[in-house]
Structure 1
Amino acid sequence: MASNQASLQDDQSRHCKFLSYMFYQAVRDHKPVWMLEDMRTMEYFYWEENASLRTYSPSEALLYAVVHNHLPYAQYLLSHFPEEALKVPGEHFCYCPSSAPHLAMAVTYDRRDILGLIIKIAHKLPSLNSYINRAGCFHLEDGKTPLHLACELLRSETVLILLGNGASPRIEDSKGLTPLDVILEQMWDSKVNVASKKLCLDYLLLFMPNPQFKMRKVLQEHPDHWTALLGEDKFNSLVGNTPASLYLQAMQTILQTLPPSHFPKSIQELPIPQALKPLPSYGKKLPAKNVHH
């Protein structure tokens, strides 16, 4: 009798594990939202032995939607469960309680449409007031903010989206590096993707009057290298020899007064010639990326 009961439990466990994998696979295959919600709320077992019966939370489901770029499902979860969807997932996902894994994942996988949805929800909820500046685990992720990650990955448009929506370029990671340091270190280490690095740098400087950063000493010790790379005016401004250009100072002042929740519309509505606006390429539709992982 005991043997039959154990066999039945094993069969049930295997079935629930199979259902768990099916949900992950269904999100990956971009199945319809109604089907995913039916599967999400179906009870299953965790892969670990002796785990209790449970369902996927909106937060866990959103992580899968971000990874596999399932935009309609991400829209559904964020509109129906805004706070629950952006909670840190359960202990089995190994995220620090104060981190923003969905935002970090959207940056890492370059899911800009979902990134925009997440940021829009964060602006509406008082409980997520500082969400965009949450750092990852200091032990596993070096305390990087989403902006650090975007700079590390040279995602210039994402850098701009984050900055315009209130991400601070002054926060340091566990190594004491600001996002500006991250870009300058990459410029120092390699001559690859120079254009992307310069664009990220320019966006950071727009939102960073009087920049303070760890790499300043390296710039001061190698003026010829950095002058050739950055240009004389930008180099002298970064090391503190001269003030920033009047144009940059003016744009920094303007950007500080604009509410992040209205970015980039507030930029486009400025009563100045289009050619003088610092973000002329923002919002242009880029080719769709349908790579599934």
Structure 2
Amino acid sequence: MEDERKQHKFISFLFYQAVRDLKPVWMLEDMRTMETFYWEEDAKQRTYSPSEALLYAIVHDHRPYAHYLLSRFSDEALEMPGESFYCCPSSAPHLAMAVRYDRRDILAHILQVAHQLPGLRSYMNRGGCFHLEDGKTPLHLACELLRADAVMLLLGNGASPQAEDHNGMTPLDVVLQQLRDSKANVGAKKSCLENLLMFMPEMRFKMKSALQKERQCWSKVLGEDKLNYLTGREPAPLFLIAMRRILAQLPPEQFPSSLDKLPIPAALKPRAHRGRLSVA
């Protein structure tokens, strides 16, 4: 019995390894549906679910397999995986994983599928694991990791820039905190900030009072004009108002292709998009 258990655990590892090695989809599906034991000592014999397989595909950037799972098993692929993979049933682990590993192509496909499923209307705004991610939404995570492309993709697909984590921090607070704490990667931080402002008609965020109290410090970080706007001393620039209205008219389920088709110069489109946000 012990030898048989070890053999099944070995087969389980082979599936993980096969996804990592980008084996063909047909081979992975044969392995996925083979009954085997998981790695945990008390695991029972069962197959890997499409949801669990999708997590492996995201981690190892196996795009054909991820696209197959999302197309063939739309509902099942975005269900919560087993407890051995994730512990909080209200989160969006596949979306968070795609952001964390910067899998833009798979991220876009997940968002497209989510739009097609009525039960996933709030999917983009689900808070992450309370124990591991402090309730951060995928947009919080994208801002924390300075993934400007992911920030724009999530916002364009309906993610809320006003969502709060368990500490009351919005994605804008996350970016401002990054700008305050370090001078590294300033360009990426400001790209994330600009993308957020494109989708924020109201300036509601936790650090607003800190910006007002420490004006001299923040003026050096943000510039006087942007600081005045964020603190409510000046109205939004006309360009920002115009872009907000344009972006608000784009159907989320067709983003970012709808952004590509806008009849405006490429130089006026959101910075993270220019030549880099398009996905297959």
**Aligned mates of 2:188, 2:259 — CA distance in 1:** 22
In structure 1, what is the equivalent of residue 257 of structure 2? 265
Residue 48 in 1 paired to residue 40 in 2?
yes
In structure 1, what is the equivalent of residue 219 of structure 2? 227
In structure 2, what is the equivalent of residue 154 of structure 1? 146
- Structural mapping, 1:159-170, within 5 Å: 159-170=151-162
| Superposition RMSD in Å | 1.6
Unaligned runs of 5+ in 1: 1-8, 287-293
Which shifted more, 188-197 or 89-98? 89-98
Tell me which of the two structures has the higher relative contact order, counting C-alpha pairs closer than 8 angstroms and 6 or more residues apart. Answer: 2
In structure 2, what is the equivalent of residue 171 of structure 1? 163
Is contact 1:156-1:199 (8 Å) kept?
yes
Unaligned runs of 5+ in 2: none
What is the aligned counterpart of 1:102 among 94, 99, 103? Answer: 94
**Aligned mates of 1:18, 1:113 — CA distance in 2:** 31
**Aligned mates of 2:176, 2:45 — CA distance in 1:** 49
In structure 2, what is the equivalent of residue 126 of structure 1? 118
Residue 116 in 1 paired to residue 108 in 2?
yes
**Aligned mates of 1:174, 1:280 — CA distance in 2:** 28
Q: CA deviation at 1:119?
A: 0.7
Q: Against the structure 1 CA distance between its residues 264 and 48, is the aligned structure 2 distance closer, same or farther, given a 3 Å change threshold?
A: closer
Q: CA deviation at 1:50?
A: 4.7
AA of the residue aligned to 2:217:
H
Q: Against the structure 1 CA distance between its residues 41 and 180, is the aligned structure 2 distance closer, same or farther, given a 3 Å change threshold?
A: same
AA of the residue aligned to 1:207:
F
TM-score, normalising length from structure 1?
Answer: 0.90
**Aligned mates of 2:65, 2:57 — CA distance in 1:** 6
Q: CA deviation at 1:205?
A: 0.3
Q: CA deviation at 1:17?
A: 0.6
What is the aligned counterpart of 1:15 among 7, 13, 34? Answer: 7
- Structural mapping, 1:61-80, within 5 Å: 61-80=53-72
**Aligned mates of 1:123, 1:285 — CA distance in 2:** 19
TM-score, normalising length from structure 2?
Answer: 0.94
Equivalent pairs counted in the alignment come to 278
**Aligned mates of 2:125, 2:265 — CA distance in 1:** 32
Identity over aligned residues, as a percent? 64
- Deviation string 1:263-293 (CA, Å, 9 cap, x unpaired) is 223233334444433357445379xxxxxxx
